[in-house]
Chain A
Amino acid sequence: MNIVIGYGNDLRGEDGFGLAVIDYLLQKNLKNTKLVKTFQLTPELTLELEHHKQIIFVDSALGSPHYSVATPLKQEHQGYSHHISPHTLISMLNKLYNSYPKYLIYSILTDAFDTIQDEIAYKNSIKIVGDQIIKSVI
């Protein structure tokens, strides 16, 4: 079973990219794939993730060139507060639940956190990432 987690805030422009991708995937009736929309990653998500074989995170990240789709291989440690990074979640799954899922992170690079700057490019990015995820889960 796969799980795709789109996270961000759709009131903050392109920060809502992950949520938009989930909306795109919802139209595709994917089998064996759970779709989750959330504002931020929180520790208790581990309980939802522990039995999945593959986890796909979808987010937007500060960076350029705009609308590039990136899959960071490594993230800086972000510390631990009320929200956490994908890597921290995976680490919790490994250490606390002996769960070692395959995981992927798709991020769109942007600095537009007030509005969607280019609707066409943004929608195209949603399609690219969405279609890539579909390939990953079937």
Chain B
Amino acid sequence: MSEKIVIDPVTRIEGHAKITINVNDSGKVDDAKLHVTQFRGFEKFCEGRQYTEMPGLTARTCGICPVSHLISSSKACDELLAVRPPKGGRNLRRIINLAQILQSHALNFFHLSAADMLYGFDAPKGDRNIFKMMQTHPEMAKNGIKLRAFGQKIIEELGGKRIHPSWIVPGGVSHQISQEQKSNILEQIPEAMDIVKGALKWYVSQLPKYKREIEFFGNYKSMFMGLVNKHGKLEHYGGMLRFMDWDGTILDDGVDPKHYQQYIGEYVEDFSYLKSPYYKPRGYKNGMYRVGPLARLNVADSCGTPLADEAFEDFMNINNGKPVLNTFYYHYARLIEIIYCIERIEELLNEPETMSDNVRSYASVNRLEGVGCSEAPRGTLFHHYKVDKTGSITGVNMIIASGNNNLAMNAGIKQAACEFVDGANPSDGDLNRVEAVIRCFDPCLSCSTHALGVVATKVEIKDMNGKTIKLIDRV
């Protein structure tokens, strides 16, 4: 009789999810699914509000990456106004967006994921966490705190507060920064860079221990999507979309994000509140693509900053210059992106226009529809607004970074469950491996369902009739 294993809640992620693993009559895993169990409905309740409120409202989608929402939302509003922010405003928006990515990546790597590599996936459950790290590797835990604090400090310096700053506005940013603020950020850069370089060295040194995980943690053919700049380099704020196939073939390039609906379809499955976006030309499921750090490095020709490009070269050698398909390497890409963020923040701060007092363009509504797109820590983020002539919102669509990866996350946990989980006697270590696939993607599920929910991460095992035979609470 077939059975179902349930992992609920999935731990060390942001938001609430459970995983079900279907086991067949012979005790083998047939399928696995990620269920995102929360719902909020931002797209609906924003209707009727003024467009000027949208950055502030949609930033509340998330307490982790509000800056990313502020950026995409304000860019959508720029489109409604038909303005381009001045260079100073664009640079400052870029800096705060990079700081957001840096701090989020730092927390995922040091405090949520590194414990699996420090102690092994089969280590006792009580040891695979930050608390054990504090005992055995306090410097690593402190480095994670310092690096995240660096990113948060930039957000606070520029935006006025760490969470939900209101400084990013339609048309640019609300005010310039001071020389003192600039100096405060620049003086922290050497230490931040030392920390991430050390972390990358350590991560690479650990890889030989995890050959099986590298091979079976979501190692499959998929497309990749991300923004690249006009030179094909890594881009997080502007640029155009690039879609790349698993073998490196560029499927579409130079795609203006405002045309995203021609390329991305959105499907809704009945087992999750998380939408399943797909690449439209290939149809649902065949159109599975990945976004986020791994995808961004895969689609880019290079990073465009010296130290990140050194690391990028090693990264691309993993698959002889072809896209890296192993989801396990999301962490690798994340660390390279942190290096890039630090270098790029320094470059931008030293550009004269960044200190300009001309940081905002002003206009009233000139268009009735606008799309804003940027790269959030977890991938490409779209905000799409429709307004009437008074600026009142008549329609909202958001594709959240983690949502883009929904099909890929499901494919990843299925592969890991089939490889590692003994349906008759699932071990804690093997269930942890299934969860760890999700952690590689670092999903922000509160964000991606724009949700209001209850914490849950469970693994459920069901028989072929859908009856739950085992429920494993992962708290």
Contact = CB atoms under 8 A, between A and B. Distances in A.
Given A38-B162, A43-B145, A79 B135 contact: no
A80 B162 CA distance: 19
Contacts of B144: 43
B134 interface: yes
A96 B162 CA distance: 23
Interface residues of B, number: 28
B130 interface: yes
Interface in A27-84: 38-40, 42-44, 46-47, 79-83
B145 A44 contact: yes
A82 B134 contact: no
B12 A81 contact: yes
A97 B135 CA distance: 12
Contacts, number: 58
Q: For chain B, what secondary structure do more than half of its interface residues adopt (helix, strand, loop), or is it mixed?
A: helix
Interface residues of A, number: 19
Given A39-B63, A39-B164, A95 B12 contact: no
A79 B112 CA distance: 11
Q: For chain A, what secondary structure do more than half of its interface residues adopt (helix, strand, loop), or is it mixed?
A: loop
B163 A39 contact: yes
B165 to A, nearest CB: 11
Nearest to A46: B145
B148 A43 contact: yes
B142 to A, nearest CB: 5
Contacts of A79: 11-12, 475
Interface string B31-66: 000000000000000000000000000001001100
A92 interface: yes
Contacts of A80: 12, 111-112, 129-131
A81 B111 CA distance: 8
A83 B138 CA distance: 19
A48 to B, nearest CB: 9
B14 interface: yes
B335 interface: no
Interface in B116-174: 129-131, 134-135, 138, 141-142, 144-146, 148-149, 152, 162-164
Centre residue among A38, A43, A83, A92 by max chain B CB count within 10 A: A43
Contacts of B60: 11
A91 interface: yes
B471 interface: no
Contacts of B12: 79-81
Nearest to A84: B130
B13 interface: yes
Interface string A72-110: 000000011111000000011001110000000000000
A95 B134 contact: yes
B249 to A, nearest CB: 37
B134 A92 contact: yes
B163 A91 contact: no
Nearest to B115: A80
Centre residue among B129, B130, B141, B142 by max chain A CB count within 10 A: B130
B424 interface: no
A92 B129 CA distance: 13
Contacts of B189: none
6 contacts: A40-B63, A43-B111, A44-B145, A44-B146, A91-B131, A95-B131
Interface of A: 11, 38-40, 42-44, 46-47, 79-83, 91-92, 95-97
